[in-house]
Amino acid sequence: MNTGKVGEWQFRYELHKGTLLAAALFVVMFVIYVSNHPAGFTPNVVQTASNKATLLAFVAMAQCLVVITAGIDLSVGMVLVLCNCLASWLVVGTPLQTGFGIVAVLAAGLACGTLNGLIIIFGRLQPIVTTIATSAIFFGLALLLRPTPGGSVNETLADVFTSKMFGVLPTSLIVLAATILLVWIPFSRSVYGRAAYAAGSSEYAAYMSGMPLKRAKLLAYALAGLLSAMGGLYLTFFSYTGEAAFASGNAYTLYSIAAVVLGGVSLAGGKGSAVGAVFGALAFRTIGDLLFVFDLDPLWQPLFQGIVLMLAIGIGSIGLARVRNRLEWFQ
């Protein structure tokens, strides 16, 4: 091999460029944020920021898994809402009961994701309409569970998951990192993970190479349900209640798509990582926070968020201007 270490790093950089860009974007915005924050860079400020971004980070990870296979999951927000309502019934009582409750909530999320996957893969329906339909079903179930906001959660546990570990590190951030380590890394390095990327990149070639496409896609959708359920649990830990909130479910779905794009995940499939999606979510949340430290009218937030999003996405499509055969634009 005539390629030395430098070449190797070059390839690594190319591969993770999207993730690095998202991380850089987040770091820059977060530095601006804390340096203008009246309290400065303290564990409390970090904790608040981390807690605010955790929910979106989970659904963005969920969305990322599906988007890699060139699909889309418009039900992530409603799975989150459903799991929030479920948790407000189940995650209560003795430690044992609470433990069972958590397992049940996660299993419910997994089941929702599996249902999406089964319909899309074996029913051969389009992901976009399938998940619109199932998201209505999930919201309907959530409404039946919680016609009005209410319920409770094991508050001791909730406080543990939303406070700091060793007085410095926010627990929510640690849980997020653990999820990446225990769900994302094994998935992305397994044969199924590779098949998921291959399905998004060129399904035809993947099929011709005899890859396990169906199982890989099913796994992606199922894990997306599981990760959305994690988000639902966290929502319950923050709010102490369950609420079938239509608007916030829809907002999480839409923001998850924005977050994965910010995180360098290609909506065309085959490219990106959940780590990037998490940074995308963190960056997206920080855009909102920036307004408060600059004392801008909250009325400006949607407009400001939209403009920053447009700029960030614009950077990603510069490559298209250099195409030599114009037909490639449409591939």
Token pair 């329906």 is at which residue?
Answer: 125
Query: Could you write out the DSSP letters of every residue in 90-111?
Result: HS-SSHHHHHHHHHHHHHHHHH
Question: Which residues are CB-contacts of 175 (< 8 A; sequence separation ≥ 6)?
Answer: 54, 161, 230, 234
Whether 60 contacts 278, CB under 8 Å: yes
CB-nearer residue toward another protein: 205 or 313: 205
**Which has the closest alpha carbon to 194: 181, 179, 212?**
212
The CB-of-74 to another protein minimum distance in angstroms stands at: 23
Instruction: Give the separation between CA 219 and CA 322, rounded to whole angstroms.
Output: 36
The CB-of-265 to another protein minimum distance in angstroms stands at: 12
CB-nearer residue toward another protein: 201 or 250: 201
The CB-of-188 to another protein minimum distance in angstroms stands at: 9
CB-nearer residue toward another protein: 3 or 94: 3
**Which has the closest alpha carbon to 308: 292, 286, 293?**
286
Instruction: Give the separation between CA 134 and CA 149, rounded to whole angstroms.
Output: 22
The CB-of-11 to another protein minimum distance in angstroms stands at: 4
CB-nearer residue toward another protein: 68 or 112: 68
The CB-of-236 to another protein minimum distance in angstroms stands at: 32
Query: Could you write out the DSSP letters of every residue in 224-284?
Result: HHHHHHHHHHHHHHHHSSB---HHHHHHHHHHHHHHHHHTT--TTSS---HHHHHHHHHHH
The CB-of-210 to another protein minimum distance in angstroms stands at: 4
User: Measured at the alpha carbon of residue 196, what is the angle toward residues 194 and 201, in degrees to the nearest 5?
Assistant: 95
CB-nearer residue toward another protein: 7 or 43: 7
The CB-of-271 to another protein minimum distance in angstroms stands at: 5
CB-nearer residue toward another protein: 211 or 278: 211
Cα dist from 152 to 135, 156, 213, 239, whole Å: 24, 12, 41, 9
The CB-of-261 to another protein minimum distance in angstroms stands at: 16
Cα dist from 130 to 115, 127, 150, 160, 293, whole Å: 10, 5, 30, 37, 41
Chain residues in the site for another protein (CB under 8 A): 1-3, 7-8, 11-12, 14-15, 186, 189-191, 194, 197-198, 200-202, 204-206, 208-211, 270-271, 323-327
How does DSSP classify residue 298?
Answer: G
CB-nearer residue toward another protein: 102 or 198: 198
3-state secondary structure of 126: coil
CB-nearer residue toward another protein: 24 or 323: 323
Whether 36 contacts 294, CB under 8 Å: yes
The CB-of-195 to another protein minimum distance in angstroms stands at: 9
CB-nearer residue toward another protein: 40 or 319: 319
Instruction: Give the separation between CA 235 and CA 3, rounded to whole angstroms.
Output: 49
